[in-house]
Amino acid sequence: MCGIVGFINQNNHLNKDDLLVMLDKIQHRGPDNLSISIQNNVYLGHARLSIIDLNSSSNQPMQYKHYTIVFNGEIYNYKEIREKLQEEGHIFKTQGDTEVIIHAYEHWGEKCQSYLRGMWSFVIYDKEKNILFGSRDRMGIKPLYYIRKDNFLSFSSEIKPLLGLEKNLKPNMSVVSTYLLTNLMNYDNQTFFQNVYQLEGGSSFKFDISSGKFEINRYYDLAESIKNKRESTTSDFNKVLDKSFEIHVQSDVQVGTCLSGGVDSSTVTAKVSSILKNDNIKSITAKSISKETDETKFAKIVADHLNIDWHVVEPDYEYFKTNIEECLYYQEEPVGGPSIFMQYAVMQEAKRQGIKVIMDGQGGDETLLGYERYYSWMLSDLIRKKKIIPFVKEFPRIVKNSKLGYIDLLKQYVYFNNFKLRVKHLKKRHINMKEIYSDLAVDNFRKLGYENKNLEELQILELTKTNLPTLLKNEDRNSMLASIEARVPFVDHEVIETSLKLPLKNKINKGYTKFCLRKYLESMVPKTISWRRDKKGFEAPTDIWLKEHMEVMKKYINESSLLKEIYTVLPELDNISDKEIWKLYNLAVWEKQYLSK
């Protein structure tokens, strides 16, 4: 896991010092080695976090023949690919995965992407053809941002290094207004900054330096990949998940896990512990100071049962106050809520414990219908298929085995299945937002097509456009700030494809979400964990923190020129929810950190 930067210096308006400045801004991503390569007008930089093959021969930028690569991520099947290439006559000098990618590119060209299993963003300079080729993994686990103007191209693992190359920084008002109204982010290639884009998951770019031609291609489409696949079985699911865990634990350094005590994190911790035989395993839990959001008792049950080295961090308000702006700065764009700070605290504690690779449960909810809103869409699917009796039977089952009561479930069903109602509700919460901006936000929301999708299509939308991309981005920033590689075995593309093709009864059964995963887990931990009904997940004590932080937030909000541009009158903070206050505050902090210079 590392950080990469680079640019094409067409008009000699940039130099080596500019590259070093860019690299310095991401050195937290790879403090083990910082190196650069300058060939003709192609400038490449790499910050290395050594995880596999710790030898300096695997440092980057790495050259092979007329190819130079900078790579961020892990290729979990690199040994198998290396064997295939060796059979074709390729000779390797290192034991790492970076060299495998560059040989794979030489052998298969752009098709090499389809052979890779893992998480990555990489850029290869082909000196002979004078082109740059960049790629991002199928699900977009590892980030890749770029600026493209005329004959100029720059790229980076984070946004900050690019901002110094953009002289006239402006907010992307389409993204900003959509965030405020709907809380949606990362739903396309745009960012909160004008002219700064992200390469979307499952995509690659090719830049012909001689002609200036720049093109983006999609090499992987989740919907297309599962279109003709047969229905999965629980045996298929168990097998592919076992394989994912086996390949994700490969490491030459300390491995740890995030442990909330929920189904996903408990599965990760139990499997990692089982595979590595408790060798060198540490787990980190964030304890909430609010009894309503604290899950420590569940995490303790798992830790005691598995007999692992368990560490608890309990961020109080003073810790929040001292560190929240650093957390937000390194996120680079506004985030959905203060719970991200619990993850920040976990990663900082993991760093103190010497962990360099941490396993997490992101993706389990999106693939196996773990969120409460999926009940509403499941019920809607039953109605669409005219399955009235199953529809009626599901209501008491859901109420029995979830946190929802009948009234709450009915409200959610009506709300999530009525797009016009959702839009009306969202606009009502932002009654003073100028029409030009609320219309922008609603248009972006409508384009996602929530109102016209069946349950599988909604899962694909949340996996590729709305929910998971944001969670992955947040975790990347929090983990890399602590110089830690975060791995997400549920986001392996084979796990996702297999999960999507499971029958509904394997995902929601008798009111239980993630049914097949609970069955997978129940032999490894006590049933009080595998059959938990009160889903949380490192929730922050939002009501406590924001109440204490109110004066600070008011100051930021009242001083924000951006918010004054968006609203005819700034919202009355006493009349809106904590969630809406947070977004106003977060956007005001972002404005001050990145635009007020």
Q: What is the pLDDT of residues 103-140, one digit of tens each?
A: 999 999 999 999 999 999 999 999 999 999 999 999 99
Q: Identify the band that residue 254 occupies on the pLDDT scale cut at 50, 70 and 90.
A: confident
Asked which of 128-132, 416-420, 481-485 is least confident by mean pLDDT, the reply is 416-420
What average pLDDT does the structure give for the chain?
Answer: 93
| Residue 30 near residue 74 (C-beta atoms within 8 A) | no
Q: Which has the higher per-residue pLDDT, 64 or 52?
A: 64
What whole-number distance in Å separates Cα of residue 562 and Cα of residue 460?
A: 33
Q: Does the pLDDT at position 37 exceed 70? A: yes
**pLDDT the model gives residue 9:** 86
The CATH architecture assigned to 2-220 reads: 4-Layer Sandwich (3.60)
Q: Does the pLDDT at position 153 exceed 70? A: yes
**pLDDT the model gives residue 573:** 87
Fold of 234-367+474-506+513-530: Rossmann fold (3.40.50)
How many CB atoms neighbour CB 574 within 10 A? 7
**pLDDT the model gives residue 102:** 97
Q: Compute the C-alpha angle 116/119/125, nearest 5°.
A: 70
Q: Identify the band that residue 278 occupies on the pLDDT scale cut at 50, 70 and 90.
A: low
Q: For the residues 287-305, what does the mean pLDDT come to?
A: 93
Q: Identify the band that residue 230 occupies on the pLDDT scale cut at 50, 70 and 90.
A: very high
Helix (H) or strand (E) holding 147: strand 145-149
Q: For the residues 524-529, what does the mean pLDDT come to?
A: 96
DSSP structure class, residue 567: B
Q: For the residues 60-71, what does the mean pLDDT come to?
A: 94
Q: Does the pLDDT at position 141 exceed 90? A: yes
Cis peptide before 396 (omega within 30 of 0): no
- Percent of the chain scored above 70 by pLDDT? 98
Q: For the residues 22-46, what does the mean pLDDT come to?
A: 93
| Residue 118 near residue 77 (C-beta atoms within 8 A) | yes
| Residue 484 near residue 355 (C-beta atoms within 8 A) | yes
Q: Does the pLDDT at position 57 exceed 80? A: no
Among residues 268, 276, 269, 273, which one has the least CA distance to residue 251?
Answer: 276
What is the tens place of the pLDDT at every residue in 318-369?
Answer: 999 999 999 999 999 999 999 999 999 999 999 999 999 999 999 999 999 9
Q: Does the pLDDT at position 237 exceed 80? A: yes
- How far is residue 153 CA from its own chain's centroid? 25
**pLDDT the model gives residue 537:** 66
Q: Identify the band that residue 10 occupies on the pLDDT scale cut at 50, 70 and 90.
A: confident
Q: For the residues 561-579, what does the mean pLDDT come to?
A: 92
DSSP structure class, residue 445: H
Among residues 4, 64, 56, 59, which one has the least CA distance to residue 29?
Answer: 4
Q: Does the pLDDT at position 208 exceed 90? A: yes
Q: Does the pLDDT at position 558 exceed 90? A: yes
| Residue 46 near residue 34 (C-beta atoms within 8 A) | yes
Q: Compute the C-alpha angle 453/455/457, nearest 5°.
A: 55
Q: Does the pLDDT at position 96 exceed 80? A: yes
Q: Does the pLDDT at position 288 exceed 70? A: yes
Q: What is the pTM of this model?
A: 0.95
What whole-number distance in Å separates Cα of residue 486 and Cα of residue 471?
A: 12
Paired tokens of 21: 């400045």
Q: Identify the band that residue 150 occupies on the pLDDT scale cut at 50, 70 and 90.
A: confident
Cis peptide before 541 (omega within 30 of 0): no
b/e per residue 77-102 (b: at least 16 CB within 10 A) = bbeebbeebeeeebeeebbbbbbbbb
Paired tokens of 321: 């106050």
What whole-number distance in Å separates Cα of residue 108 and Cα of residue 201?
A: 20
Q: Does the pLDDT at position 390 exceed 90? A: no
Helices 435-447 and 173-182: angle between axes, nearest 10 degrees = 80
Which amino acid does the sequence have at 586?
Answer: N
- Give phi and psi for 278, each to the nearest 5: 60, 10
Contacts by 93-98 with C-beta closer than 8 Å and gap 24+?
A: 93/57, 94/53, 94/55, 94/57, 94/58, 95/52, 95/53, 95/55, 95/58, 96/52, 96/53, 96/55, 96/58, 97/52, 97/53, 97/71, 98/58, 98/60, 98/62, 98/69, 98/71
**pLDDT the model gives residue 54:** 67
Give the residue range(s) of CATH 3.60.20.10 domains in the chain: 2-220
DSSP structure class, residue 61: S
Q: Which has the higher per-residue pLDDT, 60 or 495?
A: 495
- Percent of the chain scored above 90 by pLDDT? 81
**pLDDT the model gives residue 473:** 97
| Residue 495 near residue 225 (C-beta atoms within 8 A) | no
Residues 6+ apart with CB under 8 A from 392: none
Tell me the sheet residues that pair with 470.
Answer: none
What whole-number distance in Å separates Cα of residue 211 and Cα of residue 482?
A: 40
Q: Identify the band that residue 2 occupies on the pLDDT scale cut at 50, 70 and 90.
A: confident
Q: Does the pLDDT at position 49 exceed 90? A: no
| Residue 75 near residue 100 (C-beta atoms within 8 A) | yes
DSSP structure class, residue 580: H
What whole-number distance in Å separates Cα of residue 145 and Cα of residue 125?
A: 17
Give the residue range(s) of CATH 3.40.50.620 domains in the chain: 234-367+474-506+513-530
Q: Does the pLDDT at position 388 exceed 80? A: yes
What is the tens place of the pLDDT at every residue in 350-362?
Answer: 999 999 999 999 9
**pLDDT the model gives residue 279:** 66
Paired tokens of 576: 């809106």
